[in-house]
């Protein structure tokens, strides 16, 4: 008789990049024989749903609830989802979100063992009954390895970092075929995703323009992003090149990245998603966040993190610059010539 699998609930609700960082943890748990469920918000559901790393993806529509504001309807929806979670009778719950928005799920999920890091903020530590050492932003320690410490705590030590993504449908592949049909097949493809959610994680737009001008003669250039990024992209591109901003869902974006030779992006969900595909080289540009922790993990001949000008305030990890003088100085670095040199090395081995 086959032994019944232990069931684990992974709670990670936040941004696309943070969800990507947790995929190796989910794979480590699944490879070790656990049945894995993942509680995720709208920002990461497309990457988690139908991903081989999980058995069940559970949507917590926190973005919708935030827009709606506190209401009886939202509370009722929360209780309905919580009821389904409790019915699963999880053996273990892991809260890698470690914030107030995960506390209420963790505290009432019904898991026998509820594990969180001691660094949890906003009282989230109260949702657990087991605590591990601080993990997330240990100096110079890649975040992917930090999250795997939850697996290590359970006696799981994976031999390799395994990143998986959902498969693309034929319809999604054909859509990208159509959107990219005008590319010059004799030239490599560079995808530039210049936007991110924090103002001071954006690299200077004139630096972007310089990089594009230098690469455009020898490469296909394609821009990606959301609808709100079109103004930035139009400035950088001068109205040239293929602009896919607002034209692709996350799974379709995975297909775009999987066709690229190189992706250049700031510290963003796009940079981390491109890394997760395993196909293109990636140049990630860092301003206020630590490249040693959040940069694409793995082969330094394929993944390059740039930035960090040695300013005394770096990395501040703040959404808004706190300086009164020389404000947002970090967004000027790295020098675009250095980015172009790295790009040519990665694409052409120059």
Mean pLDDT of 302-330: 84
8 Å CB contact between 286 and 266: yes
Tell me whether strands 35-40 and 56-59 are parallel, antiparallel or unpaired.
Answer: parallel
Residue-wise pLDDT tens digits, 254-304: 999 999 999 999 999 999 999 999 999 999 999 999 999 999 999 999 999
Helix then strand then coil, % of the chain, to nearest 5: 40, 15, 45
Between residues 14 and 88, which one has the greater pLDDT? Answer: 88
Label residue 27 by pLDDT band (50, 70, 90). very high
Label residue 162 by pLDDT band (50, 70, 90). very high
Average pLDDT, the chain: 94
8 Å CB contact between 127 and 95: yes
Between residues 12 and 349, which one has the greater pLDDT? Answer: 12
8 Å CB contact between 85 and 109: yes
The confidence score (pLDDT) of residue 319 equals 84
Kindly report whether the peptide bond that precedes residue 77 is cis, defined as omega within 30 degrees of 0. Answer: no
8 Å CB contact between 329 and 309: yes
Domains, the chain: 7-153 (3.40.50.2000), 170-348 (3.40.50.2000)
> Exposed, middle or buried: residue 302 (CB in 10 Å: 0-12, 13-18, 19+)?
middle
Mean pLDDT of 38-49: 97
The confidence score (pLDDT) of residue 4 equals 76
Residue-wise pLDDT tens digits, 130-152: 999 887 656 678 999 999 999 99
Residue 2, pLDDT > 60, answer no
Residue-wise pLDDT tens digits, 178-209: 999 999 999 999 999 999 988 889 999 999 99
Residue 42, pLDDT > 80, answer yes
The confidence score (pLDDT) of residue 344 equals 96
- Sequence-ordered strand ranges (E) for the chain: 7-11, 35-40, 56-59, 92-95, 113-117, 130-132, 189-192, 220-223, 242-243, 262-266, 281-286, 303-307
Between residues 14 and 157, which one has the greater pLDDT? Answer: 157
Residue-wise pLDDT tens digits, 252-264: 999 999 999 999 9
Integer Cα distance of 188 and 218 in angstroms = 8
Residue-wise pLDDT tens digits, 91-126: 999 999 999 999 999 999 999 999 999 999 999 999
The model's pTM is 0.94
Label residue 1 by pLDDT band (50, 70, 90). very low
Residue 172, pLDDT > 80, answer yes
First to last CA, the chain: 59
> Which residues, 6 or more positions from 206, have their beta carbon under 8 angstroms from its beta carbon?
none
């Amino acid at each position: 008789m086959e032994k019944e699998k232990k069931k684990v609930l992974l709670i990670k609700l936040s941004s696309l990049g943070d969800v990507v960082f947790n995929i190796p943890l989910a794979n480590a748990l699944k490879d070790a024989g656990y049945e894995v469920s993942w509680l995720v918000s709208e920002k990461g559901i497309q990457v988690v749903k139908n991903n081989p790393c999980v058995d069940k993806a559970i949507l917590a529509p926190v973005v919708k609830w935030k827009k709606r504001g506190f209401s009886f309807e939202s509370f009722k929806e929360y209780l309905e989802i919580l009821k389904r979670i409790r019915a699963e009778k999880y053996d273990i719950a892991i809260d890698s979100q470690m914030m107030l928005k995960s506390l209420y799920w963790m505290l009432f999920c019904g898991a026998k063992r509820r594990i969180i890091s001691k660094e949890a903020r906003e009282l989230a530590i109260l949702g657990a009954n087991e605590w591990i050492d601080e993990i997330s932003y240990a100096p110079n320690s890649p975040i992917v390895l930090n999250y795997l410490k939850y697996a290590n705590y359970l006696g799981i030590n994976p031999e390799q970092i395994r990143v998986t993504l959902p498969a693309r449908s034929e319809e999604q592949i054909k859509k990208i075929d159509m959107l990219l049909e005008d590319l010059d097949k004799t030239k490599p493809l560079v995808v530039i995703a210049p936007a991110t959610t924090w103002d001071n994680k954006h690299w200077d737009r004139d630096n972007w323009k310089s990089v594009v001008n230098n690469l455009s003669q020898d490469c296909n250039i394609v821009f990606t992003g959301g609808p709100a990024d079109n103004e930035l992209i139009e400035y950088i591109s001068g109205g040239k090149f293929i602009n896919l901003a607002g034209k692709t869902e996350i799974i379709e974006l995975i297909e775009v990245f999987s066709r690229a030779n190189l992706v250049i992006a700031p510290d963003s969900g796009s940079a981390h998603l491109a890394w997760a595909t395993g196909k293109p080289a990636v140049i990630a540009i860092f301003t206020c966040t630590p490249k040693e922790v959040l940069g694409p993990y793995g082969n330094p001949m394929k993944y390059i993190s740039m930035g960090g000008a040695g300013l005394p305030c770096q990395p501040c990890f703040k959404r808004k610059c706190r300086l009164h003088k020389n404000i947002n100085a970090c967004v000027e670095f790295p020098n675009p010539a250095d980015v172009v040199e790295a790009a040519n090395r990665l694409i052409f081995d120059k």
